[in-house]
Amino acid sequence: MADGQFDDALLAMAQQHKSIEDLSYSVLSFFERRTDLFHVMETPQDRMGFKPGAAEKMVLKHFKYFQHKHMAREQPEMLKKLYNIDGPPPQAAVANSPEEAAARAAKEAKAQAAATSSTSSGTGGSTAVPEKTKKMMQHISTWNGAVTDKYHWSQSIRDVTLEIEVEECRAKELQVNITATRLSVKCKGQTILEGKLYEKVNTEETIWHLEDRKQVIITLEKQRGTWWKCVLEGDQEIDTTKVESTRRMDEYDGETQGAIRKIMFDQNQKLKGAPTSDQIRTADVMKEAWNAPGSPFRGSEFDPSMLNLSGPVSEDFFQDVEKRRIEAARGAQG
């Protein structure tokens, strides 16, 4: 695979993130939900996942390879200083290239499959794959979701993915109807799943496909960023207080972002012994009223220590102040 082949697609994805850390989180989240990168093999005969520690070594191997490649091009002096070498590192010193690694992995997978077939068909006492592992290998992840008698499902704050078992069929024999509030799946004319969705979805961003001719995989985009207790109303519910909720600030709506920033600012101010946002806002109002007509402090320098700014101030107070400002301004114009 040539470097840069997917640059346009990856660049478009990167532009939707605020930092490399955010981007790497999304990439690893994809690997966790859609691949077996994080699955640890329980026996040598497993065909899913990696041996303990193997996936980490693979990721670190590629990181070191491209770090050396970058430094040889952009920071040759730093490369020489840190590793005492000139130019790209020899293949023996670091990981093989991604192309060679992919070829080697394919070769090892083929050899492993042959070995598995040989041991399973022989009379030797090979270790059988646990039934639990077999079942896990056959289904999607149930991260932040559950397994019901009708389907497996998982969710992020933005979407829901569910897997529905059907009899072996072709895609044209399926009828998958999805509206903003309802979901219906039929196979060869027989209703497999039907009901009202827990919350509304964006139908234009909803996709589905048939996998292995017997699993319907549906991805629903939520209209509202919230955690679902179930996919269809009336089905078994999960405890949404126990979901793994890690979100970037830009995933919340504007009002929620403002509230979070205010809380974070106030907490930081309290740690420094400085006034909170409400106290600053109150002081600004009081400072303006200090020299207002009729004020006993008119003409003197504003002294916030004479005011009690530590107690809570209701929003009604600020609204009343703003109303008086507007009335005063209108009176001055008249």
Q: What is the pLDDT of residues 25-82, one digit of tens each?
A: 888 888 888 788 888 888 877 777 888 888 888 888 888 878 888 888 888 887 777 6
Q: Report the pLDDT value the prediction gives residue 316, as an integer from 0 to 100.
A: 65
Average pLDDT in the chain: 75
pLDDT in tens, 147-194: 899 999 988 888 999 999 999 999 999 999 999 999 999 999 999 999
- The contacts of residue 291 (CB under 8 Å, 6+ apart) are 297, 298, 299, 302
Task: Look up residue 298 and give its DSSP letter.
Answer: T
CA–CA dist 309, 304 (Å, integer): 8
> Chain-centre distance of CA 213, in angstroms?
29
Q: Report the pLDDT value the prediction gives residue 231, as an integer from 0 to 100.
A: 96
Name residue, tokens 């320098």.
301
8 Å CB contact between 298 and 292: yes
Q: Report the pLDDT value the prediction gives residue 63, as an integer from 0 to 100.
A: 85
Q: Report the pLDDT value the prediction gives residue 174, as an integer from 0 to 100.
A: 94
Side-chain-side CA neighbours of 68 within 13 Å: the count stands at: 22
8 Å CB contact between 163 and 216: yes
pTM as predicted: 0.40
